[in-house]
């Protein structure tokens, strides 16, 4: 399945209040990152009534089995797709014709290689790479009086080094030898 979005933003929500605001927003897709078994059908109905697709982060749906039966229940109760870090759940969800988002946390070059290999086995409809940005978080730490932050992981070029330092890192760690001579 191919999932295409007309607008490039997705509302990722955890609370009822955030969910209600997302329903009124121009986004077409909502990621519900916190829910329980009893909320699935009602949330899906409200999302669909607002013209939205609703994906549940299956790893965080309380009371729902993290297996084929749980995924089937989610689909039967209006879920359009799932978000997960787990390859076996992506594969099961695809068998049930649910849209799939597989999340990968990239912290270094090894995690990038692992994510590429895994995505090549599970073929999720969408891949979410996290964190999306770090520079703003470095600045947040600096503004809170933390002037001892080192940026590390996925530092691949001079621009990444400079961006991290500009954002407030006191140093940058990297395994890229060519960057050790900047």
Enumerate the β-bridge partners of residue 20: none
Contact 82, 71 (CB under 8 A): yes
What is the C-alpha to C-alpha distance for residues 115 and 123, in angstroms, rounded to an integer? 11
pTM reported for the whole predicted model = 0.80
Which among 120, 144, 122, 140 has a CA at the least distance from the CA of 131? 140
pLDDT score, position 62: 95
Q: Which residue has the tokens 């077409």?
A: 28
Contact 118, 102 (CB under 8 A): yes
pLDDT tens sequence across 102-158: 999 888 878 888 989 999 999 998 888 877 667 777 777 777 777 777 787 788 889
């Amino acid at each position: 399945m191919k999932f295409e979005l007309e607008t490039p933003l997705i509302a990722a929500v955890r609370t009822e209040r955030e969910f209600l605001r997302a329903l009124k927003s121009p986004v077409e897709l909502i990621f519900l990152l916190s829910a329980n078994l009893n909320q699935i059908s009602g949330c899906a109905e409200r999302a669909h009534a607002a013209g939205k697709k609703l994906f549940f982060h299956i790893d965080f749906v309380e009371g729902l089995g993290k297996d084929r039966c749980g995924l089937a229940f989610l689909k039967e109760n209006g879920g359009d797709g799932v978000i997960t870090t787990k390859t076996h759940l992506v594969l099961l969800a695809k068998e049930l014709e649910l849209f799939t988002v597989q999340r990968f946390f990239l912290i270094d070059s090894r995690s990038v290689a692992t994510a590429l290999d895994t995505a090549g086995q599970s073929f999720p409809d969408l891949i979410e790479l996290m964190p999306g940005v770090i520079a703003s978080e470095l600045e947040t730490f600096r503004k809170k009086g933390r002037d001892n932050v080192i940026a590390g992981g996925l530092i691949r070029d001079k621009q990444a080094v400079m961006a991290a330092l500009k954002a407030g890192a006191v140093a940058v760690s990297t395994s890229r030898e060519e960057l050790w001579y900047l």
